């Protein structure tokens, strides 16, 4: 399903009409908007966690820690905040910080951040997002900033479905799970106020039979609901970095612009005894990491006794770093000339991404800017979401006889989105370079499994039901025959939505991402039920790469919970060991 560069360029333009832009619905110029917001931001008190943050170049060339966390992202920040209560912790984040970036820290800047991501310049560390195009031809992105992808996403917050806890391969303490969710929610989760478009989508979903209506809830529930948001009522973003407020500042150090090159591993003899004889085996253990600062200087972070290296670099970064450290399939690593430290055949395998399909149209009435707030969770494997925004319109340069407007013109666009649960189709990751700064090669194999195709057809048919609801009538235009209809931008749904073949083709032809990729270091294959890397001591992975199944909804809530949850579990386990 490889697409041409022209198709990719069209997808970038189509993204413009997908969810959000950095322009809002006022008639002030974008520059005025940004300057005003920037002045307001400068008046704000810097977040307290900045006292713990330094450029990696300011760190010693060698230092010792109880826990070294690779990645200050969605899971890494709550993990660090929790572990720092009783241990010395280092967080190594390859990107910078979000504070002082008004375009990143307000909801209107969501799309601009993604569009400005530079996929071809691996040294562009100042971009908070790093884009990549999968071998499926679909444009995607990963976070490169303290807070990770929670600092660049659309902000929707919802807890995982029950099936996730049953099927994830982990032995969950559900009481602790609930407490960990609540710990996150007290700091960064808000109830959105529905306006015109989101209210209409809610009513349209209910008319289309996506019931019952569950109102506002952070829990996963079949039917139509209002979810939480990590944007507050003023539109300011709150990311997992805000959870660092809970950290013990004297125990936590955060290095930004720190590129971890590889894990440091060592072999040590260990003896096992039986009544008949004794045997000595060799145990491989993580002892630290090698990282490089922005000036190219190398640093060693070394573990203290009983310490751990914890990878929280995400579904792309964690398997990539294992491979570069010689942990992975022996034949594959040998083909790259990477010394094999530990044969672990499934590193980089079982990689998943939830495909997105949808439609966009010009409404007949002005709409406010809104991110995803209402969701319809069907019983047929599909989720329906929506967004609305105001985009700038400029007169094409070739239209010489039309005078440019004195002030900017704006068009309102509305989007309905379907994503599938699961997915079942699995892909893989492999290296593109031995330089960790370059994105690996990723293939998600969208719709490779017929189950995913069926779920997509069910979801896109439900989009058609919503469009035919009375709640959508106000957004239609009347044509010259007096018939009211939508003015679509980009592909419209097939006319005959009962035709399974046509609907399946629509799914494949219009597939895009909703940035919910996971897997690559899945439980039972790469890590055990305690998230420890199989066969290597003192090395654990706490991020979405361990998930072989999706949380169902937007994963950020569950990833932040995961960081808090395993921070508590590790602390308690170590306390028992010391006792």
Binding residues, as ranges, are 93-94, 145, 260, 515-516, 544, 555-556
Structure tokens at 24: 């809002």
**Integer Cα distance of 199 and 95 in angstroms:** 37
Q: Is 296 helix (H, G, I), strand (E, B) or coil?
A: coil
- What is the DSSP pairing of strand 427-430 with strand 349-352? antiparallel
Q: How far apart are CA 421 and CA 551, in angstroms?
A: 9
Strand order in 427-430's β-sheet?
441-443, 427-430, 349-352, 518-519
Question: Nearest Cα to 71, choosing from 272, 266, 309, 285?
Answer: 309
Q: Are 361 and 413 in contact (CB under 8 A)?
A: yes
| Residues catalogued as catalytic | 516
Kindly tell me the burial class for residue 433, based on how many C-beta atoms sit within 10 Å of its own C-beta (0-12, 13-18, 19 or more).
middle
Tell me how far apart the alpha carbons of residues 285 and 307 are, in angstroms, rounded to a whole number: 11
In this structure, are residues 304 and 63 in contact, taking their beta carbons and an 8 Å threshold?
Answer: no
Q: Computed from CA positions of residues 429, 431, 436, 439, in that sequence, does the dihedral angle turn out positive or negative?
A: negative
> Checking DSSP bridges between strand 374-377 and strand 382-393, what pairing results, if any?
antiparallel
Distance (Å, whole) CA 432 – CA 445: 18
Q: What residue numbers does the annotated binding site for FAD cover? A: 93-94, 145, 260, 515-516, 544, 555-556
Q: Three-class SS of residue 341?
A: coil
Helix (H, G, I), strand (E, B) or coil at 342: strand
Number of Cβ within a 10 Å radius of residue 202: 23
How far apart are alpha carbons 163 and 553 in whole angstroms?
Answer: 12
d(CA 428, CA 323): 13
Contacts of 126 (CB under 8 A, 6+ apart): 96
Helices in 372-449 by DSSP H: which ranges?
Answer: none
Displacement of CA 230 from its chain's centroid (Å): 13
The Cα–Cα gap between 373 and 216 comes to 10
Element (H, E) at 174: helix 174-188
Bridge-based pairing of strands 228-229 and 156-157 is: antiparallel
The answer to whether residues 106 and 235 touch, using CB atoms and an 8 Å cutoff, is yes
Q: Which residues, 6 or more positions from 335, have their beta carbon under 8 angstroms from its beta carbon?
A: none
| Under 8 Å between Cβ of 414 and 386 | yes
CB atoms within 10 A of CB 171: 8
SS3 of residue 305 by DSSP:
strand
């Amino acid at each position: 399903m490889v697409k041409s560069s022209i198709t990719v360029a069209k997808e970038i333009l189509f993204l413009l009409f997908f969810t959000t832009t950095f322009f809002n619905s006022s008639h002030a110029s974008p520059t005025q908007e940004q300057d005003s917001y920037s002045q307001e931001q400068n008046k704000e008190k810097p977040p307290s966690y900045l006292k713990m943050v330094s450029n990696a170049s300011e760190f010693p060339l060698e230092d010792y820690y109880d826990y070294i966390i690779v990645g200050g992202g969605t899971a890494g920040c709550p993990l660090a905040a929790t572990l720092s209560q009783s241990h010395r912790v280092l967080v190594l984040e390859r990107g910078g910080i979000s504070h002082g970036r008004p375009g990143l820290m307000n909801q209107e800047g969501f799309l601009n951040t993604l569009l400005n991501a530079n996929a071809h310049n691996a040294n562009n560390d100042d971009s908070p997002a790093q884009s990549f195009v999968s071998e499926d031809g679909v444009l995607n992105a990963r976070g490169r900033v303290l807070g990770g992808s929670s600092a660049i996403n659309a902000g929707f917050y919802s807890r995982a479905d029950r099936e996730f806890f049953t099927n994830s391969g982990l032995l969950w303490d559900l009481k602790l799970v609930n407490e960990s969710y609540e710990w996150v929610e007290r700091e960064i989760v808000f109830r959105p106020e529905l306006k015109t478009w989101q209210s209409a989508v809610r009513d349209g979903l209910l008319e289309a039979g996506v019931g019952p209506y569950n109102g506002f809830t952070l829990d996963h529930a079949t039917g139509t609901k209002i979810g939480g948001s990590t944007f507050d009522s003023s539109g300011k973003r709150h990311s997992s970095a805000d959870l660092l407020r809970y950290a013990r500042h004297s125990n936590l150090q955060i290095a930004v612009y720190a590129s971890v090159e590889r894990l440091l591993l060592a072999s040590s003899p260990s003896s096992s005894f039986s009544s008949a004889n004794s045997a000595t085996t060799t145990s491989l253990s993580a002892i630290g990491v090698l990282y490089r600062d922005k000036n190219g200087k190398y640093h060693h972070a070394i573990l203290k006794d009983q310490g751990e290296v914890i990878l929280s670099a995400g579904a792309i970064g964690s398997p990539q770093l294992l491979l570069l450290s010689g942990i992975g399939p022996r034949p594959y690593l040998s083909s790259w000339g990477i010394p094999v430290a530990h044969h672990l055949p499934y590193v980089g395998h079982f990689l998943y991404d939830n495909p997105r399909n949808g439609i966009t149209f010009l409404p007949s009435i002005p709409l406010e800017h809104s991110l995803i707030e209402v969701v319809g969770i069907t019983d047929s494997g599909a989720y329906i979401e929506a967004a609305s925004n105001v985009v700038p319109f400029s007169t094409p340069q070739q239209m010489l006889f039309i005078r440019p407007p004195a002030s900017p013109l704006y068009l309102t666009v509305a989007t309905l989105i379907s994503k599938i649960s699961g997915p079942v189709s699995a892909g893989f990751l492999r290296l593109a370079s031995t330089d960790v700064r370059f994105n690996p090669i990723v293939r998600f194999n969208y719709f490779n499994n017929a189950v995913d195709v069926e779920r997509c057809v069910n979801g896109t048919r439900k989009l058609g039901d919503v469009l035919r609801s009375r709640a959508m009538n106000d957004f239609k235009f009347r044509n010259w025959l007096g018939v009211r209809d939508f003015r679509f931008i980009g592909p419209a749904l097939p006319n005959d939505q009962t035709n399974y073949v046509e609907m399946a083709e629509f799914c494949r032809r219009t597939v895009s991402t909703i940035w919910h990729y996971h897997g690559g270091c899945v439980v039972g294959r790469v890590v055990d039920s305690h998230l420890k890397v199989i066969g290597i001591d003192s090395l654990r992975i706490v991020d979405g790469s361990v998930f072989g199944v999706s949380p169902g909804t937007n994963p950020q809530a569950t990833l932040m919970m995961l960081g808090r949850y395993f921070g508590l579990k590790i602390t308690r386990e170590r306390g028992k060991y010391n006792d």
